């Protein structure tokens, strides 16, 4: 069931709301960025994401093909979400950092299915051979 969650960075400068059905799956990836940031995410469409405060306090980081804008708070450094645009993803999408959702309980998070992506080898459809560290 789709639910509206309220999220923020650590210092609360950046605040957002998003509508997610966690039973549709969450995702962890072993690419160089996700593994260093321990980024546990869910994908939502443009209409499901609302930045409530602090949009001007976000810095943008891009690497590799530069298709994804990775946003982090200029004050506390926490990355609440990234944004990309791909036809296969239905246009503009956000990758929400689930641990930034303040009203998501640990139990709810642990109950959500997790898909693993082998982004390190550019095989996004495949599960990496090791996932325990992600």
In contact, 30 and 116? CB cutoff 8 Å: yes
Choose between 8 and 117: whose C-beta lies nearer to Zn ion: 8
Taking CB under 5 A as the criterion, the residue among 19, 35, 76, 112 binding Zn ion is 76
In the chain, DSSP finds a helix count (H) and a strand count (E) of 2, 10
Taking CB under 5 A as the criterion, the residue among 6, 17, 69, 75 binding Zn ion is 75
Four-residue CA torsion sign, 57, 78, 8, 63: positive
Closest CA to 14 of 93, 102, 92, 95: 102
For residue 87, the tally of other CB atoms under 10 A from its CB is: 6
- The answer to whether residue 99 forms part of the interface with Zn ion (CB under 5 A) is no
Taking CB under 5 A as the criterion, the residue among 9, 20, 31, 100 binding Zn ion is 9
- The answer to whether residue 68 forms part of the interface with Zn ion (CB under 5 A) is no
Smallest gap, in angstroms, from Cβ of residue 75 to Zn ion?
Answer: 4
- The answer to whether residue 134 forms part of the interface with Zn ion (CB under 5 A) is no
- The answer to whether residue 11 forms part of the interface with Zn ion (CB under 5 A) is yes
Smallest gap, in angstroms, from Cβ of residue 4 to Zn ion?
Answer: 21
Residue 75: burial class (beta carbons within 10 Å; 0-12, 13-18, 19+): middle
| Interface positions with Zn ion (CB under 5 A) | 9, 11, 13, 73, 75-76
């Amino acid at each position: 069931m789709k639910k509206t969650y309220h999220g923020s960075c650590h210092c609360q400068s950046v605040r957002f709301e998003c509508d997610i059905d966690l039973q549709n799956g969450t995702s962890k990836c072993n690419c160089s960025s996700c593994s260093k940031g321990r980024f546990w995410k869910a994908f939502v469409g443009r209409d499901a994401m609302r930045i409530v405060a602090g949009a001007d306090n976000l810095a943008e980081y891009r690497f590799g093909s530069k298709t994804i804008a990775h946003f982090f708070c200029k004050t506390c450094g926490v990355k609440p979400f990234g944004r990309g645009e791909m036809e296969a993803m239905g246009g503009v999408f956000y990758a929400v950092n689930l641990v930034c959702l303040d009203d998501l309980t640990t139990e709810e998070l642990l109950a959500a299915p997790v898909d693993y992506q082998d982004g390190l080898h550019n095989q996004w459809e495949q599960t990496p051979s090791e996932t325990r560290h992600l």
